[in-house]
Amino acid sequence: MDTGGNSLPSGPDGVKRKVSYFYDPEVGNYYYGQGHPMKPHRIRMTHALLAHYGLLQNMQVYKPLPARERDLCRFHADDYVNFLRSITPETQQDQLRQLKRFNVGEDCPVFDGLFSFCQTYAGGSVGGAVKLNHNICDIAINWAGGLHHAKKCEASGFCYVNDIVLAILELLKQHQRVLYVDIDIHHGDGVEEAFYTSDRVMTVSFHKFGDYFPGTGDIRDIGYSKGKYYSLNVPLDDGIDDESYHFLFKPIIGKVMEVFKPGAVVLQCGADSLSGDRLGCFNLSIKGHAECVKFMRSFNVPLLLLGGGGYTIRNVARCWCYETGVALGTEVDDQLPQHEYYEYFGPDYTLHVAPSNMENKNTRQLLEEIRNNLLDNLSKLQHAPSVQFQERPPDTELPEADEDQDDADERWDPDSDMEVDEKRPIPSRVKREAIEPERKDSEAPKGTAEQARGFDNMATNETLSTKSVDVRPLAIDEPTVKVEQETSNKASDPIYPKS
């Protein structure tokens, strides 16, 4: 069956793409707490739009298999992952020192199912990377992912586990170079930090800079050691509109693609850069935001699309629905279909929202200075970097469906390091079409435990900065289960207050 969509009339991009889409119907049940701006419910709203626009039938739909502790530890510290697994709202008062140590509390609260939430969104991103590595699809989508602030040893900015770093590590098993592009209004600091000394991962972040979280992302931050010039930061001011944004985005990304020649691209599509976001101060339209997706799609390079920020949740759902259509090459109608969350989108009940009349503080002179500065930095990279020869771990294999596996919910590997009481079926309201059981990691030689976590030197004598992680390809199990599309959500799903 053809899993592509109708082509977008966009010149060299006018071809169909096979798209894999990851979604867990339970993700909308997670709740950060009353008054918290991060609402996983927006993922369910997005999915409902995709279902009622008929876009799911044009994609391969997968329910992500939760990432296991050892998968998360390929970037994150063991004690931090153990803390996330064990902490609960009932026990947090007994672990105040640990809460402070790992920056868990206000912005990153403890809530019911926290670790399962992390496993789910990380599993979708890594699963998408595996599908791309095995040429199962051209574009993989996980709107629940994109939590770019999480660090090796701490939570940050509503993010607990950095699914992006884990997905990039998976892509590096097949691709010599991976490009990371971030269009969230906040600087993609966690991903930049992880790869700051590497020339195999280039990070490009377009973000609000100044008195704004997380306070990093100066244009002068360009990488270190072998990674010098492989970190690009595009600092922007309030009110940037579509025209100004693409005055920078297209020439910079075009030059990056020409010089860096990535084998795969990860695009973090944080929707808090849209006009009218509850926490944002940019003035992008949904079409302007989606133009970044369309531009990255035009290079015909394996592409992983992830979510991120976005706090006016009706606009987040609009944006990611439209961008799914862009990935498929399908133009979706502006008039919203009737669906279970239809009342969120009044009074117009349309997909697109007009930008506001807020002042654009990004002058043409400032934009030209930024563009010239960054293009000059890119000119110092004469060609794509070489990759030193080294033994590569075995590829993550895609097993055939196990027709003898009667209970599709019993998906835990017997070698999992999860405790017995955690090895319970994951509740699901979606019917399985085909099961992709987990496979065991290839046995690693003794004495390589630290290497498996990515903290060794890349077969070089250089010592990596303590702020970065080694990007030698690492083995991560594929966490995916294929499912049929879910046509609607249960009426009993919790409805959170509108943003």
* Structural domain boundaries enclosing 47: 19-380
- For residue 405, being part of any structural domain is answered with no
- For residue 305, being part of any structural domain is answered with yes
Tokens (6 digits) for 48 = 């409902």
Q: 311: annotated binding-site residue?
A: yes
- For residue 306, being part of any structural domain is answered with yes
Q: 272: annotated binding-site residue?
A: yes
| Contact of 332 with 322, CB cutoff 8 Å | yes
Residue 4 has pLDDT above 60, yes or no: no
- For residue 455, being part of any structural domain is answered with no
Which residue's structure tokens are 């169909």? 16
Between 117-121, 377-381, 412-416, the lowest mean confidence (pLDDT) is in 412-416
Residue 477 has pLDDT above 60, yes or no: no
Within 8 A by CB and 6+ apart from 140, the residues are 19, 20, 21, 22, 127, 128, 129, 131, 132, 303, 304, 305
Instruction: Give the model's pLDDT for residue 423.
Output: 31
- For residue 4, being part of any structural domain is answered with no
CATH code of the domain in which 47 resides: 3.40.800.20
Between 197-206, 310-319, 421-430, 473-482, the lowest mean confidence (pLDDT) is in 421-430
- For residue 135, being part of any structural domain is answered with yes
pLDDT tens for 245-304 read: 999 999 999 999 999 999 999 999 999 999 999 999 999 999 999 999 999 999 999 999
- For residue 460, being part of any structural domain is answered with no
Mean of the per-residue pLDDT values of the chain: 82
pLDDT tens for 14-43 read: 678 999 999 999 999 999 999 999 999 999
Which band of pLDDT confidence, cut at 50, 70 and 90, is reported for residue 78?
A: very high
- For residue 100, being part of any structural domain is answered with yes
Q: 186: annotated binding-site residue?
A: yes
Residue 381 has pLDDT above 60, yes or no: yes
ω into residue 347 within 30 of 0, thus cis?
A: yes
- What is the set of active-site residues? 149
Residue 458 has pLDDT above 70, yes or no: no
Q: 238: annotated binding-site residue?
A: no
Number of domains the chain is built from: 1
Q: 277: annotated binding-site residue?
A: no
